[in-house]
Protein backbone atom coordinates (compact mmCIF):
# COMPACT_ATOMS: atom_id res chain seq x y z
CA UNK A 1 0.00 0.00 0.00
CA UNK A 2 1.26 3.47 -0.81
CA UNK A 3 0.06 6.87 0.33
CA UNK A 4 1.07 10.49 0.76
CA UNK A 5 1.31 12.03 4.22
CA UNK A 6 1.17 15.79 4.67
CA UNK A 7 3.61 16.89 7.38
CA UNK A 8 3.17 19.87 9.68
CA UNK A 9 5.70 21.75 7.52
CA UNK A 10 3.32 21.46 4.60
CA UNK A 11 5.16 18.89 2.48
CA UNK A 12 3.58 15.78 1.01
CA UNK A 13 5.81 12.77 1.69
CA UNK A 14 5.38 9.44 -0.04
CA UNK A 15 5.22 6.35 2.18
CA UNK A 16 5.23 2.74 1.02
CA UNK A 17 3.61 0.37 3.54
CA UNK A 18 4.27 -3.35 3.07
CA UNK A 19 2.10 -5.51 5.34
CA UNK A 20 2.27 -9.30 4.86
CA UNK A 21 -0.95 -9.85 6.84
CA UNK A 22 -3.19 -8.14 9.38
CA UNK A 23 -1.65 -10.32 12.07
CA UNK A 24 1.94 -9.04 11.79
CA UNK A 25 4.53 -8.94 14.58
CA UNK A 26 6.74 -5.82 14.36
CA UNK A 27 6.90 -2.68 12.24
CA UNK A 28 10.28 -1.93 10.64
CA UNK A 29 10.89 1.57 9.26
CA UNK A 30 13.45 1.34 6.45
CA UNK A 31 15.06 4.79 6.38
CA UNK A 32 17.28 6.22 3.66
CA UNK A 33 20.06 8.76 3.38
CA UNK A 34 19.83 12.10 1.59
CA UNK A 35 19.88 10.44 -1.84
CA UNK A 36 16.55 8.79 -1.08
CA UNK A 37 15.35 5.28 -1.78
CA UNK A 38 13.58 3.41 -4.56
CA UNK A 39 11.36 0.91 -2.77
CA UNK A 40 10.81 -0.98 -6.03
CA UNK A 41 14.56 -1.62 -6.33
CA UNK A 42 14.75 -2.62 -2.66
CA UNK A 43 12.02 -5.24 -2.93
CA UNK A 44 14.39 -8.06 -1.89
CA UNK A 45 15.48 -6.20 1.26
CA UNK A 46 11.89 -5.26 2.14
CA UNK A 47 10.76 -8.87 1.82
CA UNK A 48 13.77 -10.01 3.84
CA UNK A 49 12.96 -7.62 6.69
CA UNK A 50 9.31 -8.61 6.51
CA UNK A 51 10.10 -12.32 6.65
CA UNK A 52 6.38 -12.96 5.97
CA UNK A 53 5.48 -11.65 9.44
CA UNK A 54 6.69 -8.05 9.87
CA UNK A 55 5.31 -4.83 8.48
CA UNK A 56 7.91 -2.73 6.60
CA UNK A 57 7.42 1.00 6.06
CA UNK A 58 9.60 2.93 3.57
CA UNK A 59 9.63 6.74 3.68
CA UNK A 60 10.70 8.80 0.67
CA UNK A 61 12.31 11.78 2.46
CA UNK A 62 11.55 15.34 1.48
CA UNK A 63 13.12 16.22 -1.86
CA UNK A 64 13.58 12.59 -2.95
CA UNK A 65 11.63 9.92 -4.77
CA UNK A 66 7.90 10.64 -5.06
CA UNK A 67 7.92 13.15 -2.20
CA UNK A 68 7.63 16.90 -2.60
CA UNK A 69 10.59 19.20 -2.07
CA UNK A 70 13.52 20.65 -3.95
CA UNK A 71 15.98 18.03 -5.17
CA UNK A 72 19.43 18.24 -3.63
CA UNK A 73 18.77 21.06 -1.18
CA UNK A 74 16.58 22.14 1.70
CA UNK A 75 16.06 25.40 3.55
CA UNK A 76 16.61 23.85 6.99
CA UNK A 77 18.21 20.41 7.32
CA UNK A 78 16.28 19.73 10.54
CA UNK A 79 13.12 19.49 8.40
CA UNK A 80 14.61 16.44 6.67
CA UNK A 81 14.80 14.69 10.05
CA UNK A 82 11.65 16.12 11.62
CA UNK A 83 9.46 14.97 8.72
CA UNK A 84 10.39 11.36 9.40
CA UNK A 85 10.10 11.73 13.17
CA UNK A 86 6.58 13.08 12.69
CA UNK A 87 5.54 10.22 10.40
CA UNK A 88 6.82 7.61 12.86
CA UNK A 89 5.24 9.29 15.89
CA UNK A 90 1.88 9.48 14.12
CA UNK A 91 2.05 5.90 12.91
CA UNK A 92 -0.64 3.62 14.32
CA UNK A 93 1.89 1.19 15.80
CA UNK A 94 3.97 3.85 17.52
CA UNK A 95 0.84 5.53 18.87
CA UNK A 96 -1.05 2.41 20.01
CA UNK A 97 2.02 0.45 21.21
CA UNK A 98 0.49 -2.77 19.88
CA UNK A 99 3.59 -3.70 17.89
CA UNK A 100 7.32 -3.19 18.34
CA UNK A 101 8.73 -0.33 16.27
CA UNK A 102 12.21 -0.82 14.80
CA UNK A 103 14.41 1.34 12.57
CA UNK A 104 16.71 -0.01 9.84
CA UNK A 105 19.54 1.90 8.19
CA UNK A 106 22.32 1.06 5.75
CA UNK A 107 25.44 3.18 5.17
CA UNK A 108 24.70 6.90 5.50
CA UNK A 109 21.11 6.25 6.53
CA UNK A 110 22.43 4.78 9.79
CA UNK A 111 23.17 8.35 10.89
CA UNK A 112 19.60 9.31 9.95
CA UNK A 113 18.36 6.35 12.00
CA UNK A 114 20.27 7.43 15.10
CA UNK A 115 19.06 11.03 14.88
CA UNK A 116 15.46 10.03 14.17
CA UNK A 117 15.50 7.50 17.03
CA UNK A 118 16.94 10.11 19.39
CA UNK A 119 14.23 12.64 18.53
CA UNK A 120 11.39 10.13 18.32
CA UNK A 121 11.85 8.35 21.65
CA UNK A 122 10.25 5.01 22.57
CA UNK A 123 11.94 3.09 19.75
CA UNK A 124 12.21 -0.65 20.41
CA UNK A 125 15.48 -1.22 18.55
CA UNK A 126 17.65 -0.30 15.57
CA UNK A 127 19.57 -2.21 12.91
CA UNK A 128 22.69 -0.49 11.56
CA UNK A 129 24.49 -1.86 8.49
CA UNK A 130 28.00 -0.54 7.72
CA UNK A 131 27.65 2.80 9.58
CA UNK A 132 30.18 5.25 8.02
CA UNK A 133 31.49 7.01 11.11
CA UNK A 134 35.07 6.51 9.87
CA UNK A 135 35.93 6.09 6.20
CA UNK A 136 38.75 4.31 4.43
CA UNK A 137 40.88 5.95 1.75
CA UNK A 138 38.99 4.58 -1.21
CA UNK A 139 39.90 5.41 -4.78
CA UNK A 140 37.86 8.24 -6.27
CA UNK A 141 36.20 9.20 -3.00
CA UNK A 142 38.12 12.34 -2.10
CA UNK A 143 37.59 15.56 -4.12
CA UNK A 144 40.54 16.96 -6.03
CA UNK A 145 42.15 20.27 -5.00
CA UNK A 146 40.32 21.95 -7.85
CA UNK A 147 37.01 20.55 -6.65
CA UNK A 148 37.71 21.77 -3.11
CA UNK A 149 38.19 25.30 -4.48
CA UNK A 150 34.98 25.01 -6.49
CA UNK A 151 32.99 23.79 -3.48
CA UNK A 152 34.43 26.52 -1.26
CA UNK A 153 33.28 29.15 -3.76
CA UNK A 154 29.78 27.72 -3.89
CA UNK A 155 29.56 27.52 -0.09
CA UNK A 156 30.39 31.23 0.20
CA UNK A 157 28.28 32.50 -2.70
CA UNK A 158 25.68 29.82 -3.54
CA UNK A 159 25.61 27.28 -0.74
CA UNK A 160 22.08 26.12 -1.63
CA UNK A 161 22.86 25.30 -5.26
CA UNK A 162 23.19 21.52 -5.93
CA UNK A 163 26.72 21.07 -7.30
CA UNK A 164 28.22 18.02 -5.55
CA UNK A 165 27.80 14.73 -7.39
CA UNK A 166 27.11 12.14 -4.70
CA UNK A 167 26.73 9.34 -7.26
CA UNK A 168 30.47 9.37 -7.96
CA UNK A 169 32.06 7.23 -10.64
CA UNK A 170 30.93 3.57 -10.42
CA UNK A 171 33.79 2.51 -12.72
CA UNK A 172 36.23 3.17 -9.85
CA UNK A 173 34.55 0.57 -7.61
CA UNK A 174 36.66 -2.57 -7.56
CA UNK A 175 34.07 -5.02 -6.23
CA UNK A 176 31.95 -6.16 -9.17
CA UNK A 177 28.75 -6.60 -7.16
CA UNK A 178 29.02 -3.15 -5.56
CA UNK A 179 29.91 -1.64 -8.94
CA UNK A 180 26.77 -3.04 -10.61
CA UNK A 181 24.67 -1.86 -7.68
CA UNK A 182 26.15 1.62 -7.95
CA UNK A 183 25.58 1.70 -11.73
CA UNK A 184 21.91 0.86 -11.23
CA UNK A 185 21.56 3.60 -8.61
CA UNK A 186 23.20 6.27 -10.73
CA UNK A 187 20.52 5.85 -13.41
CA UNK A 188 17.61 5.64 -10.97
CA UNK A 189 15.26 8.64 -11.44
CA UNK A 190 13.93 8.32 -7.88
CA UNK A 191 17.37 8.91 -6.36
CA UNK A 192 18.96 12.34 -6.04
CA UNK A 193 22.40 12.79 -7.59
CA UNK A 194 23.52 16.39 -6.99
CA UNK A 195 23.53 18.17 -3.64
CA UNK A 196 24.19 21.66 -2.32
CA UNK A 197 27.14 22.45 -0.09
CA UNK A 198 24.64 23.17 2.66
CA UNK A 199 23.23 19.63 2.43
CA UNK A 200 26.71 18.11 2.31
CA UNK A 201 27.98 19.98 5.37
CA UNK A 202 24.85 19.29 7.42
CA UNK A 203 25.05 15.61 6.48
CA UNK A 204 28.70 15.60 7.55
CA UNK A 205 27.75 17.03 10.95
CA UNK A 206 25.18 14.28 11.35
CA UNK A 207 27.72 11.57 10.50
CA UNK A 208 30.16 13.06 13.02
CA UNK A 209 27.49 12.89 15.75
CA UNK A 210 26.98 9.12 15.56
CA UNK A 211 29.16 8.20 18.53
CA UNK A 212 27.66 11.01 20.62
CA UNK A 213 24.16 9.75 19.84
CA UNK A 214 25.25 6.19 20.65
CA UNK A 215 26.20 7.26 24.17
CA UNK A 216 22.59 8.14 24.95
CA UNK A 217 20.90 5.27 23.06
CA UNK A 218 18.78 3.30 25.54
CA UNK A 219 17.28 0.93 22.99
CA UNK A 220 18.58 -2.43 21.62
CA UNK A 221 21.13 -2.46 18.81
CA UNK A 222 22.06 -4.87 16.04
CA UNK A 223 25.21 -3.63 14.29
CA UNK A 224 26.45 -5.48 11.21
CA UNK A 225 29.69 -4.83 9.34
CA UNK A 226 30.82 -6.38 6.05
CA UNK A 227 34.49 -7.26 6.33
CA UNK A 228 35.06 -6.55 2.62
CA UNK A 229 33.59 -3.04 2.83
CA UNK A 230 36.01 -0.85 0.87
CA UNK A 231 34.48 2.43 2.12
CA UNK A 232 33.65 2.09 5.82
CA UNK A 233 36.41 1.61 8.38
CA UNK A 234 35.54 -1.05 10.96
CA UNK A 235 37.12 1.05 13.71
CA UNK A 236 34.21 3.48 13.45
CA UNK A 237 31.73 0.62 13.89
CA UNK A 238 33.69 -0.51 16.94
CA UNK A 239 33.44 2.98 18.41
CA UNK A 240 29.67 3.11 17.90
CA UNK A 241 29.18 -0.32 19.46
CA UNK A 242 31.47 0.32 22.42
CA UNK A 243 29.79 3.68 23.09
CA UNK A 244 26.25 2.27 22.96
CA UNK A 245 24.47 3.02 26.22
CA UNK A 246 22.09 0.06 26.24
CA UNK A 247 23.60 -3.26 27.29
CA UNK A 248 21.22 -4.99 24.91
CA UNK A 249 23.48 -4.87 21.86
CA UNK A 250 24.81 -7.32 19.28
CA UNK A 251 27.70 -6.91 16.83
CA UNK A 252 28.11 -9.23 13.84
CA UNK A 253 30.81 -9.37 11.15
CA UNK A 254 29.94 -10.72 7.71
CA UNK A 255 32.99 -12.43 6.24
CA UNK A 256 32.36 -11.65 2.56
CA UNK A 257 30.08 -8.68 3.06
CA UNK A 258 30.78 -5.57 0.96
CA UNK A 259 29.55 -2.01 1.38
CA UNK A 260 26.44 -2.69 -0.67
CA UNK A 261 23.37 -4.81 -0.08
CA UNK A 262 25.36 -8.07 -0.15
CA UNK A 263 26.07 -7.60 3.57
CA UNK A 264 22.33 -7.29 4.31
CA UNK A 265 21.48 -10.36 2.25
CA UNK A 266 24.22 -12.50 3.80
CA UNK A 267 23.10 -11.40 7.28
CA UNK A 268 19.49 -12.47 6.63
CA UNK A 269 19.31 -15.14 9.32
CA UNK A 270 21.03 -12.90 11.89
CA UNK A 271 18.62 -10.03 11.21
CA UNK A 272 15.51 -12.23 11.22
CA UNK A 273 16.50 -13.89 14.49
CA UNK A 274 17.22 -10.54 16.14
CA UNK A 275 13.84 -9.14 15.07
CA UNK A 276 12.11 -12.31 16.33
CA UNK A 277 13.78 -11.92 19.72
CA UNK A 278 12.60 -8.29 19.90
CA UNK A 279 9.06 -9.56 19.43
- Beta-sheet strand order (sheet of 221-226): 2-6, 12-18, 55-59, 26-30, 100-106, 125-129, 221-226, 249-254
Residue 214 pLDDT class (50, 70, 90 cuts): very high
| CATH superfamily membership of 2-138+208-278 | Alpha/Beta hydrolase fold, catalytic domain (3.40.50.1820)
Strand partners, 194: 165
Average pLDDT value for residue range 152-157:
87
Domain ranges across the chain: 2-138+208-278
Question: Is 43 in contact with 75 (CB distance < 8 Å)?
Answer: no
What's the CA gap between 39 and 205, in Å, rounded? 27
Residue 171 pLDDT class (50, 70, 90 cuts): low
pLDDT digits (tens, 9 = 90+) for 129-152: 999 999 987 665 556 678 778 888
Residue 27: Cβ within 10 Å count? 23
Q: Looking at the predicted structure, is the pLDDT value of residue 270 above 80?
A: yes
What's the CA gap between 51 and 210, in Å, rounded? 29
Q: What is the pLDDT of residue 96?
A: 76
pLDDT digits (tens, 9 = 90+) for 36-90: 999 999 999 999 999 999 999 999 999 999 999 999 999 999 999 999 999 999 9
Helix, coil or strand: residue 111:
helix
pLDDT digits (tens, 9 = 90+) for 244-255: 999 999 999 999
Q: What is the pLDDT of residue 143?
A: 64
Q: What is the pLDDT of residue 36?
A: 96
Q: Looking at the predicted structure, is the pLDDT value of residue 106 above 90?
A: yes
Q: What is the pLDDT of residue 6?
A: 93
Amino acid sequence: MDRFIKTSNGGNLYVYDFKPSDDYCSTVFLLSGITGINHHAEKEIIEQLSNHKNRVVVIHPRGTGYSEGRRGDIGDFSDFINDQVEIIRNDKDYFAKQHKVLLFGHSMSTAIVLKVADKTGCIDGVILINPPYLLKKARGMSPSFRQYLKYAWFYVFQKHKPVVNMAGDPSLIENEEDRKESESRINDPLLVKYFSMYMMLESGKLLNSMVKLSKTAKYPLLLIYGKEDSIVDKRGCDMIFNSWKSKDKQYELIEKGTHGRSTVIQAKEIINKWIDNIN
